[in-house]
Amino acid sequence: MKKMIFLAALVAVGGCTSVKVKPARSVSPGTQVCIVNNPKVIVEGFVDVVREGFSRHGLPTRLVNENEAASCTVTLTYTALRSWDFSPYLSHAELHLWKDGLQIGSAEYHLRGKGGLSLAKWQGVKSKMAPVVDQLLAGVR
């Protein structure tokens, strides 16, 4: 019985993070990626972290409005949600990479159960999203 209680507590404290990635294809270093601004996203530092990740993989970025995106060959759309538990934290994010209107990669970060009792839910956007961006762009060479 004690083992069952311990395991249940461990699961509750651990929380679960789900990361699903379809690595990008058909993108080479040096290709400019237009990041389509999503004004509904209010997660502080989110776009900066994504831009840093693309830069690490040799992909320059430019932030554009939705009406400017049509002039770009490669675009990135995103959404990010925050949750509250004493302070705000990133609980869900999606990245969708497009080339000439066709999706060529995607990534999703989801904090199951909004992190439960896990202290990791308060980790910064960079510690959560940098590995996700790296997985998305792993094939860029």
pLDDT, tens digit, 9 for 90 and up, residues 114-135: 544 455 565 789 999 999 999 9
> In which order are the strands placed within the sheet that holds 16-22?
16-22, 102-112, 87-99, 74-85, 33-36, 61-64
Mean pLDDT computed over 9-25: 73
* Residue 2 reports pLDDT greater than 70: no
pLDDT by residue (tens digit) across 65-110?
A: 999 999 999 999 999 998 877 777 899 999 999 999 999 999 999 9
Please report, for the chain, the start and end positions of each structural domain, with discontinuous segments joined by +. Answer: 16-136
Q: Rounded to an integer, what distance in angstroms lies between the CA atom of residue 87 and that of residue 25?
A: 37
Angle at 113 between CA 111 and CA 114, to 5 degrees: 55
pTM over 0.85: no
